[in-house]
Each structure stands twice: as C-alpha cells, then as structure tokens.
C-alpha cells in the first residue's frame, strides 16, 4: 500500500499538470513581489500609507478595477505553488542521495509554508477579513516567548531566518538560481536580462529576509516581542538608516527584479 502511494506521488510529481501549476503560481508570485516593490518605492519617496508586506500588496491590488477578482487569482496561483512544493517535499529530489535529498525536501516544505501564508493573506483580503485583530509578527513572537524556553525558541527562529537570507544571497552570487531556468532561458539578450534580474532579486530578498531575522534575534536578546517584525517593519528599519530613502529604493528595485525573474521562470521553467 505504501509502495503504491509512493508510486502515485512520483507520477504526480513528474506530471505535466505540475509544470502548469508551477508556471501559473510563479506568475502570481511575480505579481506579489512587484506590488511589494512598488509599495516600498512609495515608502522611499515619503508615502507612509501602505504596508510593504504580502497582505499590503494584496490590499493594494484589491483597490484596482476588478481587484477582488485579481486577488482571488493570486490566491489560486499561490495555492498551486503550495501544491507543487508539497508534492516536491514528499516525493521530489530523487536524483539526490541521503542527507542532501532530505535537506532539499525540507526546503521545499518550507517554501510551501511561505506560499501558503501569502495565499491566506490574499484570501483574507478577498473575503474582507484582513482588517483589525491582534495578529502580526509581534503577537506570534509573544506566543513563542511565553512558552518554556521561549526566548531560546525566538532566537532559533531568528537565526534560521538570517541563515535563509544568507542562503538567498549565496544563491544569487553563486549563480545557482540559474538551475531554475531552462538552457533556452539563459540564451541571448533576454537570457542575460533574466540572469541579471535573478542576481539582483535574490540579493535584495536575502538582505530583506536577513533584516527580518535580525529583528527576531534582537527581540530574543531584549526579551521584547515588540522588537520583532515582518517585511514591512524590516523595510521601515532600512528607511531609518543614513541615506535610508536611497537604500530602500535600491532594495525595492531589487525586489521588483525578483518579481520579473519569477515571470522569466514561469516562461522557462526548469524543475
């Protein structure tokens, strides 16, 4: 019975519909990142209205003509990515051996959770249930902090997030992200542009994620949940630095480049 389930899982992982799901999801993820980049640019130029997070991006999208429909399309796209990564986590990376395969499957599972969080944000905005409440990163951190050894748990979460940010930057400058593109996607002038988008995009995402992780580490060090924060708080911290608007503008352009790379990846997907 287990063997039969495993065989079905591997057939699903190799099926063409997974390619279609991944492509559609990558387009949706590209839209999310471009919206976050636009909000970050607005913040850099002095607009303090929008939240530079996935939920803020969804709220911005919902205000456009046919916005609710577009938000639902993004939600569906992100759920398709969740399905792809979940199948990959359970049955993928068979070309790897032992610990490396396990690590890649865990990584795929982590990506599925990230995409799920964005999908939930989109669904909440589309259904009008995103406002108010005591949610947010600081409340989550407080819940962790109240657990036995909670301060250590928050520190470990922060260290993990920082590590993931560093990995994203390594991914950018080692060129490993090129494995996400087919050979055709790296050829010619368009291929050069795609690689440039990927390098800038993964670097910017890595820096932003690293700042988020640093906020968790600081919250653990000071035993204050309010010191933590998500992407919106991280970008606000960048804005508060010397030359903050310029630095935030550069970071926003990098996040936008990542969004464009997602479109390139959707077109030239290599799994």
**Residue for token digits 């359970």?**
90
pLDDT given at position 180: 86
Backbone angles phi, psi at 269, to 5 degrees: -70, 130
pLDDT per residue as tens digits for the range 100-140: 888 888 888 988 988 998 898 889 888 887 654 444 566 66
- Apex 204 CA angle, 264 and 171, nearest 5: 70
CA neighbor of 114 nearest in space, from 32, 169, 12: 32
CA neighbor of 261 nearest in space, from 169, 193, 188: 193
Distant-in-sequence, close-in-space partners of 20: CB < 8 Å, separation ≥ 6: none
Residue-wise burial string across 130-156, b where 16 or more C-beta atoms lie within 10 A, e elsewhere: beeeeebbbeebbebbeeeebeebbbe
CA neighbor of 51 nearest in space, from 256, 244, 250, 236: 236
Q: Is the pLDDT of residue 2 over 60?
A: no
pTM exceeds 0.85? no
- Weakest-pLDDT range from 179-188, 223-232, 261-270: 223-232
pLDDT per residue as tens digits for the range 250-266: 999 999 999 999 999 99
When the pLDDT of each residue in the chain is averaged and rounded to a whole number, the result is 82
Enter the tokens of residue 225: 């949940």
Q: Is the pLDDT of residue 198 over 70?
A: yes
pLDDT given at position 257: 95
Q: Is the pLDDT of residue 51 over 70?
A: no
pLDDT given at position 148: 78
Domain ranges of the chain: 1-132, 134-255
């Amino acid at each position: 019975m287990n063997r039969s389930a495993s065989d079905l899982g591997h057939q699903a992982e190799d099926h063409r519909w997974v390619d279609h799901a991944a492509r559609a999801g990558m387009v949706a993820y590209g839209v999310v990142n471009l919206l976050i980049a636009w909000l970050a640019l607005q913040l850099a130029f002095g607009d303090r209205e929008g939240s530079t997070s996935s939920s803020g991006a969804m709220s911005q999208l919902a205000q456009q003509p046919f916005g609710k429909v577009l938000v639902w399309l993004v939600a569906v796209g992100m759920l398709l990515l969740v399905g792809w990564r979940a199948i990959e986590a359970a049955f993928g990376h068979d070309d790897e051996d032992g610990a490396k395969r396990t690590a890649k499957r865990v990584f795929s599972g982590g990506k599925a959770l990230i995409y799920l969080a964005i999908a939930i944000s989109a669904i909440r905005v589309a259904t009008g249930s995103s406002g108010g409440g005591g949610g947010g990163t600081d409340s989550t951190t407080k819940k962790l902090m109240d657990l036995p050894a909670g301060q250590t748990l928050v520190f470990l979460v922060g260290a993990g997030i920082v590590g993931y940010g560093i990995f994203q930057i390594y991914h950018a400058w080692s060129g490993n992200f090129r494995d996400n593109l087919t050979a055709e996607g790296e050829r010619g002038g368009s291929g050069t542009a795609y690689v440039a988008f990927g390098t800038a995009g993964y670097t910017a995402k890595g820096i932003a994620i690293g700042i988020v992780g640093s906020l968790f580490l600081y919250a653990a060090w000071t035993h204050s949940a309010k010191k933590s924060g998500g992407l919106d708080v991280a970008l606000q911290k960048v804005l508060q630095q010397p030359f903050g608007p310029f630095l935030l503008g550069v970071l926003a352009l990098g996040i936008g480049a990542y969004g464009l790379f997602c479109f390139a990846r959707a077109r030239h997907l290599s799994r």
